[in-house]
Structure 1
Amino acid sequence: MIELRGLTKHFGATAAVEDLSFTVQPGHVTGFLGPNGAGKSTTMRMILGLDRPTSGVALVNGKPYAELTNPLRQVGALLDARWVHPNRSARAHLQWMAASNGIPKSRVDEVLRLVGLSEVAGKQAGGFSLGMSQRLGLAGALLGDPQVLLFDEPVNGLDPEGIVWIRKFMQRLAAEGRTVLVSSHLLSEMAQTAEHLVVIGRGRLISDSTVGEFIERSSESTVRVRSPQLDLLRSLLTSRGLTVREDGIGEDGPALSVLGTTSDDVGRLAGENAITLYELAPQRASLEEAFMKLTGGDVQYHGEDFQEVMGGAL
């Protein structure tokens, strides 16, 4: 388990992390999200003892990382896939890590096989692609068979097959009862990987909930409806104070989006007024939409609107 209590980190006058408290439980993948500059990497570095907090504590299995005995046997981490001597082979790199924590040499070939690097184990890591480096970093994280795992952008550089593989791999690790915290900017991938989300902005906690709860809380409840009596249905809906929007004209004809209600209520209203329905479906926002709505005010760097900047040139 990972526990943060009032974790704070200031770099001079800049607050990178401010009074951050949350717990990462074992048994499921926890996604760690936030805009660029939100403090995710700094938080992970403090959990691993690489940065010292200004105040507060970060605990792994009830202890600060610095107090753990043979830490690789308790905590595995992938923060920087390129953190490896370029002239060392993949096997030599892992053997060096194993020796530092009393891990048997036999474990090295096990994790290389686990991440699919057995065939290149003798090659220099400096010649690895980013995707291969990610796999080597993952092997290092798994070397001590730890119960707590932290991954920072683990799918960077991986092809689609590799992304699916690492998603299922992290889920399998969590299913074994391990604590898995993963930071990623690929929200669509995180929606398929994580069960729980911790979201921060400008170093402060924004949300700590399941993926479903986060989306539901951060998005409007809408219902899509199609009918041959759309004008009558629109009139009935608006007369009850509901907001109704056009939902485009597709291959199946025009549709309406009704805000702030449920498909049961819309269906009941249509039935009471003998209105035929072709489609009646609740609409759920994507994780990207919910994330943008909840964190929009906490984005540190904003680009200019493309149309405003390029309008004169187009």
Structure 2
Amino acid sequence: MIEATSLTKRYGKTLAVNNLSFSVEPGQVTGFLGPNGAGKSTTMRMILGLDNPTSGQVRIGGKRYHDLKNPLRTVGALLDAKWVHPNRSARAHLRWMARSNQIPARRVDEVLDTVGLTSVANKRAGGFSLGMSQRLGIAAALLGDPEVLLFDEPVNGLDPEGILWIRKFMQRLAEEGRTVFVSSHLLSEMALTASNLVVIGKGQLISQSSTKDFVARAAENTVKVRSPQLDVLRAALREASATVTDSDGGILVSGMDSDKIGELAAEKGVVLHELSPQTGSLEQAFMQITGDSVEYHTGLEAEAQKVLEASAN
């Protein structure tokens, strides 16, 4: 189990993580989500003792990482797939890690086989593709057969078969009772992989809940409407304090359920061609809930929102 309490990190005048508290339970895959610059990598580094918090604390099984004896036997992590000496072979890289934590040498070949790198075990890691480097990083995380696993963008560079493999693998690790904490920008993949989410923005906690509840929270009272009199209906909805956004061939309305929209349309004499409550996606929920926490905006974000809304319908 991972427990962060009032975790704060400053770099000079920059507040990277701000009074962040959350917990990651064993037996499930917990996704760690947030916009770029939200503080995810800094938080993971503090969990692993690579950065010291300015204030607050984080514990793994009740202990600080620095207090763990042979920490690779308790915590395995993949933060940077290219953190390997380029002239070392995959096997040599894992052997020195094993010796440093008193892990039996036979475990090296076991994890190489688990991640599918046996055939290239004696090749220099500097010649590996990103996907192969990711697999080597996962092998290193598994080396001590740890109870807690942290993965930062583990599917980067993997082909579709590799992505499916790591998804099923992380879920199997959780089913064994391990604590699995994974950060990813691939929200569609997180929707399939993680049963729970910790979502942060600008270094602060936005949400901690099940994936299902997170999506449902954003999708609540979202209704698609099509009508030949959209201008009239749009104005009436906004006057009634509903939120209206354009969608493919119609509008999306939030803050008002379909019954009230229908009643308002009848009152205004508006013909309706469609009035359908929407089932949300993790991408939609993420953009809706974290919209105010995006640190770096681009002119494409409004268009991206329209694309997501259109793809969901």
Moved more, 284-293 or 35-44: 284-293
Aligned equivalent of 2:131:
131
Superposition pairs for residues 71-86 of structure 1, below 5 Å?
Answer: 71-86=71-86
Contact map agreement 1:7 1:17 (CA 8 A) in 2: yes
Q: Report what 2:311 is aligned to.
A: none
Q: Which residue of 2 aligns with 1:30?
A: 30
Deviation at 1:215, TM superposition (A): 1.5
Shift of 1:279: 9.0
- Whether the 8 Å CA contact 1:7–1:57 is kept in 2: the answer is yes
Within 2, Cα distance between the matches of 1:12 and 1:305? 31
The separation in 2 between residues aligned to 1:173 and 1:307, in whole angstroms, is 38
Q: CA deviation at 1:290?
A: 1.1
- Give the letter for the 1:218 counterpart: A
CA shift, 1:219, in A, is 3.3
- 1:289 CA drift (Å): 1.2
Between stretches 293-302 and 35-44, larger displacement belongs to 293-302
What letter is aligned with 2:285? A
Give the distance between the partners of 2:191 and 2:223, measured in 1 at CA: 22
Shift of 1:282: 3.9
Which residue does 2:289 correspond to in 1? 294
Structure 1, unmatched stretches of 5+, are: 250-254, 268-277, 309-314
Could you tell me which amino acid in structure 2 is paired with residue 297 of structure 1?
A: D
CA change 1:225–1:119 in 2 (3 A) is same
Deviates more, 1:15-24 or 1:281-290: 281-290
Matching of residue 284 in structure 1 with residue 279 in structure 2 = yes
How much has 1:307 moved relative to structure 2? 10
Q: Percent identity?
A: 67
In structure 2, the partner of 1:64 is: 64
Question: Could you say which structure has the larger radius of gyration?
Answer: 1
Q: Distance in 2 between matches of 1:130 and 1:204?
A: 31
Q: Distance in 2 between matches of 1:9 and 1:17?
A: 5
> 1:107-256 alignment to 2 at 5 Å?
107-223=107-223
C-alpha distance 52-120 of structure 1, shift in aligned 2 (>3 A): same
Return the alpha-carbon distance in structure 2 between the equivalents of residues 259 and 93 of structure 1: 53
Code of the residue aligned with 2:279 in structure 1: it is R
CA displacement at 1:178 relative to structure 2? 0.4
CA contact (8 A) 1:221 1:284 kept: no
Shift of 1:261: 6.5
Cα distance in 2 for partners of 1:204, 1:171 equals: 27
For structure 2, list consecutive stretches of 5 or more residues without a partner in the other structure. 263-272, 304-313
Write the letter of the residue equivalent to 2:169.
F
Q: 1:294 to 1:261 in 2, by over 3 A?
A: closer
| Alpha carbons 2:219, 2:278 under 8 Å: kept | no
Q: Report the counterpart of residue 51 of structure 1 in structure 2.
A: 51
CA distance in 1, matches of 2:206, 2:282: 15
Change (3 A) 1:16 1:195: same
Task: Give me the whole-angstrom Cα distance separating, in 2, the residues matched to 1:16 and 1:307.
Answer: 26
Residue pair 1:219, 1:293 contacting (<8 A) in 2 also? no
- 1:4-34 deviation digits (Å, cap 9, x = unpaired): 0111110011111111100000011000011
Q: Alignment length, in residue pairs?
A: 287
Contact persistence 2:221–2:257 (CA under 8 A): yes
Alpha carbons of 1:259 and 1:42: their partners in 2 closer, same or farther (altered >3 Å)?
Answer: closer
